[in-house]
Structure 1
Amino acid sequence: MRGLSRSSLAAVEERFNAVAASADLGRLADELRAVADLLDREHGLRRNLSDPARPAAQKAQVMRMLLEGKVSDAALETAVAAAEARWSRARDLADALERLSVVASAAQAEAEGRLDDVEDELFRFGRIIAANPGLRLALTDPAAPAEGKERLLSELLADKVAPSTLRLITQLVVHPRGRSLETGLEEYSSLVAEQRQRLVAVVRSAVALTDEQKQRLGAYLRTSYGRDVHVNVEVDPRVLGGFSVRIGDEVIDSTIAGRIEEVRRRLAG
């Protein structure tokens, strides 16, 4: 988000933080996602609630009429705050509620001591999808019923991942909101990492790193970036040797394959 929407998001997050402290976080996550889905489906409602020309009090009243008695007080107050805010684009209203739904799931995982698990499980699920085209097709086929996708995910992941992980993956599969599954997993992973103000580093290496190597790399990156860094390792024999690190749009490449490609570019130039 940019400009006006960024400042509005900060204000809505402040209200969310106040009401989430005593809320059932799992329920709050589900309810905020449901409201975001409603706004995605009802374009006229979304335009009206994000119209900067309409008074904030009027938009808040509409949101209360829609949700009062149907969702928890925490979800209601968060949705009302979002309706009162001013957004650069109509879509940003639903985006803000989806974001806070993910934050609620991450907060639940943190309260359960499973935030690291959720980060790792989202990353590993992305690798599983990349390696299984048939599974990816089954989960992303727009013609396949949502109930079947939910059942498949439950069979695959229930009792194997944290409840927050299953909730987040199910949300992405059932309501992709125009994103690829891979893009959605990356976005959610970043939001989960932000729960502890951490960056996410994706390391590509020809061989798996030991726990000690991951810890040393994490310590080096923490010193370099001034923030904690969660290290995800992707084993890829194509790198030949060494490893590359991607944090956001920045790539540190010390692989042999990367050096060969650099030589090729220089020779071609």
Structure 2
Amino acid sequence: MATVTSESQAALASELAETISASELTVADELFSALDVMDHSAALRRALTDPSREPQERAAVVRSLFGAQAQQKTVTMLEAVVSRRWGADRDLGEAIENLAVTVVAAQAERTGLQGLEELEGALLGFRHTVAGSHEVQHALTDHQAPASAKQKLAARLSPAASAEARLLIDRAVTAPRGMRPTALVGEFASTVAARQQRWIAQVTVAKDLGGAYLEKLSSSLDRYFGRELRLDVVVDPTVVGGIRAQVGDEVVDSTVAARLNSLQRKISR
């Protein structure tokens, strides 16, 4: 079923490319709102992912629910999503969420590559700020706290955020859909990076690296993965030494901790 979902995701990206590029931020907001409606109704999700229903029938359900209150571009995207097959109803929601984020990225891209880089930087900057404070993390994951309070806190933590970054950050802190806000912001940043045909390299080191070494590391990782990478460096003393770099599902781990673990597994056999 994972193959079905992957094929549907790829088909959507191609089918909706022009619509996404021509959409405003309000379309992304409407997609998120539609996703909220679906997340709160298991019956609706089942109806929209039921393979026994014809695609046109599922699209008609979307039109009846959102046609009068959403823009045509929004409805077009929702119809395209529900017309595809998905491995699980969760995949349907993730597809809509990904479309919304891609619309935001496309909006930022209208000012060129710099706009995408600024959006990505704002998202990663917010994630690092939150990750550095247990108190802030607790405030943003407190189920008793109202969404408005979380939005206000997020705004104080990212006062210079653009309209695009603000929309995604607010979404992550108010509707993380079972994830930690920092993790969801990281996924949003990865989607923005994919729009730039780049990947984010999550690099873990034992201590802060100097600027010259970081430049060499960046060049080496670019050559290894065959892509221009944005380094997202995290200092973790438990790795002892060496470097761990993860790009997507691929991991390069040369840390002392990893080598010790490998040796221990060999000894225990």
Give the AA of the match of 2:107: Q
Q: How many residues align structurally?
A: 267
Give, in whole Å, the separation in 1 of the partners of 2:163 and 2:195: 17
Give, in whole Å, the separation in 2 of the partners of 1:56 and 1:171: 29
Within a 5 Å distance, the mapping from 1:73-222 to structure 2 comes to: 73-112=72-111, 113-159=114-160, 161-222=161-222
Aligned residue number for residue 62 of structure 2? 63
Gap change, CA 1:232 and 1:76, over 3 Å in 2: same
Per-residue Cα deviation, 1:126-163 (whole angstroms, up to 9, x for no partner):
3322321111111111111111111221222132x333
Give, in whole Å, the separation in 1 of the partners of 2:101 and 2:236: 30
Gap change, CA 1:210 and 1:72, over 3 Å in 2: farther
CA shift for structure 1 position 265: 6.2
Gap change, CA 1:53 and 1:204, over 3 Å in 2: same
Give the AA of the match of 1:17: A
Give, in whole Å, the separation in 2 of the partners of 1:136 and 1:96: 27
1:10 correspondence with 2:20: no
Give, in whole Å, the separation in 2 of the partners of 1:258 and 1:85: 42
Name the SS for the 1:114 alignment partner: helix
Gap change, CA 1:261 and 1:91, over 3 Å in 2: closer
CA shift for structure 1 position 58: 1.6
Gap change, CA 1:192 and 1:62, over 3 Å in 2: same
Give, in whole Å, the separation in 2 of the partners of 1:222 and 1:267: 35
CA shift for structure 1 position 238: 4.7
Gap change, CA 1:22 and 1:250, over 3 Å in 2: closer
* Contact map agreement 1:209 1:233 (CA 8 A) in 2: no
Give, in whole Å, the separation in 2 of the partners of 1:248 and 1:61: 36
1:244 correspondence with 2:244: yes
CA shift for structure 1 position 6: 1.9
- Between stretches 100-109 and 250-259, larger displacement belongs to 250-259
Gap change, CA 1:165 and 1:209, over 3 Å in 2: farther
Q: Which structure 2 residue ranges, 5 or more long, are not aligned?
A: none
* Contact map agreement 2:20 2:106 (CA 8 A) in 1: no
Aligned residue number for residue 33 of structure 1? 32
Gap change, CA 1:213 and 1:114, over 3 Å in 2: farther
Per-residue Cα deviation, 1:78-119 (whole angstroms, up to 9, x for no partner):
011112222221222221100111111222222232322333
Gap change, CA 1:43 and 1:265, over 3 Å in 2: closer
TM-score by length of 1: 0.87
Gap change, CA 1:155 and 1:128, over 3 Å in 2: closer
* Contact map agreement 1:4 1:88 (CA 8 A) in 2: yes
* Contact map agreement 1:114 1:162 (CA 8 A) in 2: no
TM-score by length of 2: 0.87
CA shift for structure 1 position 2: 1.4
Give the AA of the match of 2:143: P
Superposition RMSD on alpha carbons, in Å? 2.4
CA shift for structure 1 position 257: 5.4
